[in-house]
Amino acid sequence: MALDIPQERGLSYLDHKYLDGLEVCRFPLINFLEPLPLDWMYLLYAVMLLGALGIMLGCCYRLSCLLFMLPYWYVFLLDKTTWNNHSYLYGLLGFQLTFMDANRYWSIDGLRHPRKRNAHVPLWNYTVLRMQIFIVYFIAGIKKLDADWVEGYSMGSLSRHWLFDPFKLVLSEEMTSLLVVHGGGLVLDLTAGYLLFFDATRPAALVFVSYFHCMNSQLFSIGMFSYTMLATSPLFCSPDWPRHLGARFPACLRRLLPSVEPPQPSEACVYGGSERKGQGRGERGPGLRQKLGALFTVLYVLEQLFLPYSHFITQGYNNWTKGLYGYSWDMMVHSRSHQHVKITYRDGVTGELGYLNPGVFTQSRRWKDHADMLKQYATCLSRLLHNYNVSQPEIYFDIWVSINDRFQQRLFDPQVDIVRAEWSPFRHTPWLKPLLVNLSPWRAKLQEIESSLDNQTEVVFIADFPGLHLENFVSEDLGNTSLQLLKGEVVVEIVKEQRNYTLQEGDRMQLPPGEYHKVHTVSPEPSCYMYVYVNTTDVALERNLTQLQELRDKVQNGSETEPLPPELQPILDGALGDAMQTDPVVQVFVQRQQRLEELQRRRNATLGERLQRFGARKYFLFRRSFLMTWISLRNLALGRPSLEHLAREVAYANMQQEAGAAGTEGVQKEPERAEL
The phi and psi torsions of 527 (rounded to 5 degrees) equal: -95, 155
Region of residue 57 (left: phi > 0; alpha: psi -120 to 50; beta: else): alpha
Nearest Cα residue to 358 out of 304, 303, 395 = 395
Task: Assess contact for 51 and 66: CB atoms under 8 A.
Answer: yes
DSSP state of 180: I
The residues pairing with 559 across neighbouring beta strands, listed in sequence order, are none
Query: Rounded to an integer, what distance in angstroms lies between the CA atom of residue 281 and that of residue 493?
Result: 89
Please enumerate in sequence order all residues whose Cβ is within 8 A of that of 55, keeping only pairs 6 or more positions apart, or say none: 1, 61, 64, 65, 68, 94, 97, 102
Q: Is 432 helix (H, G, I), strand (E, B) or coil?
A: strand
Q: Distance of CA 476 to CAs 480, 536, 667, Å?
A: 9, 9, 38
| 556/538 Cα distance (integer angstroms) | 27
Helix, strand, coil percentages in the chain from 3-state DSSP, rounded to 5: 50, 10, 40
Beta-carbon neighbour count of residue 270 at 10 Å? 20
> Which member of 80, 116, 143, 144 is catalytic?
144
| Contact of 90 with 72, CB cutoff 8 Å | yes
Sign of the alpha-carbon dihedral angle for 440, 441, 445, 451: positive
Q: If DSSP states are collapsed to H, E and C, what string results for 60-75?
A: CHHHHHHHHHHHHHHH
Q: Whole-angstrom distance between the N-terminal and C-terminal Cα of the chain? A: 35
SS3 state of residue 130: helix
Residue-wise burial string across 389-423, b where 16 or more C-beta atoms lie within 10 A, e elsewhere:
ebeebbbbbbbbbbbbbbbbbbbbbbebbbbebeb
Q: Is the Cβ–Cβ distance between 530 and 503 less than 8 Å?
A: no
CA 637 to CA 409: how far, in whole Å? 54
CA nearest neighbour of 99 among 76, 121, 77, 71: 121
Residue burial 29-48, b: 16+ Cβ < 10 Å; e: rest: eeeeeebeebbebbbbbbeb
Give DSSP secondary structure letters for 406-431: --BEESB-TTS-TTT----TTS--TT
Which amino acid, 128?
Answer: V
| Number of C-beta neighbours around residue 113 at 10 A | 13
**Annotation marks residue 144 as catalytic:** yes
What is the β-pairing status of strands 393-403 and 336-347?
Answer: antiparallel
Contact by Cβ (8 Å): 192, 205: yes
Task: Name which of 98, 87, 86 is nearest 125 in CA terms.
Answer: 98
- Distance (Å, whole) CA 392 – CA 375: 16
Burial 127-151 (b: 16+ CB within 10 A, else e): bbbbbbbbbbbbbbbbbbebebbeb
Q: Which residues are catalytic?
A: 144
